[in-house]
């Protein structure tokens, strides 16, 4: 599972850098300042949680038997990126405001991921 999470984190981190560059160079003149801010928020949270996923992978690699809450944390970070960042990217590019209603679901997945990580931390032997 650690290898899977490292691979996914690397892809998501790289895509976050690409999204930031895309926004800065290709979108700056094409969408409103507010839409650019929304896009940037998606890219920032994607990077934060790609790094968090790397942490989860590191913790999994250091345990003999990975805890279910640790694995759940990783998947929740991935789901959060897909829903939170994905909905912000789509909202900023399309202007379809209803997409903003989906974003909190991704935020809830992020919070659940951090909660699962906190629970797992109580059982880690570091």
116, pLDDT greater than 80: yes
Question: What's the whole-model pTM score?
Answer: 0.92
**Residue count of the chain:** 126
pLDDT digits (tens, 9 = 90+) for 70-104: 999 999 999 999 999 999 999 999 989 998 899 99
DSSP 31: S
Per the CB < 8 A criterion, the answer to whether 63 and 124 are in contact is yes
Closest listed residue to residue 103, CA positions, set 57, 62, 55, 45? 45
- The band of 33, judged by pLDDT with boundaries at 50, 70 and 90, is confident
DSSP 53-101: HHHHHHHHHTSSS--HHHHHHHHHHHHHIIIIIHHHHHHHHH--GGGGG
pLDDT of residue 26: 80
């Amino acid at each position: 599972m650690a290898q899977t999470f490292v691979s996914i984190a690397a892809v998501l981190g790289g895509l976050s850098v690409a999204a930031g560059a895309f926004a800065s160079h290709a979108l700056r003149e094409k969408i409103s300042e507010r839409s650019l801010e929304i896009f940037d928020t998606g890219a920032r949270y994607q990077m934060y949680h790609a790094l968090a996923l790397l942490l989860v992978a590191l913790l999994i690699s250091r345990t003999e038997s990975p805890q279910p809450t640790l694995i759940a944390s990783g998947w929740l970070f991935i789901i959060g990126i897909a829903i939170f960042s994905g909905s912000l990217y789509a909202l900023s590019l399309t202007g379809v405001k209803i997409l903003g209603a989906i974003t909190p679901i991704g935020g809830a997945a992020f919070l659940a991921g951090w909660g699962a990580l906190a629970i797992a931390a109580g059982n880690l032997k570091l």
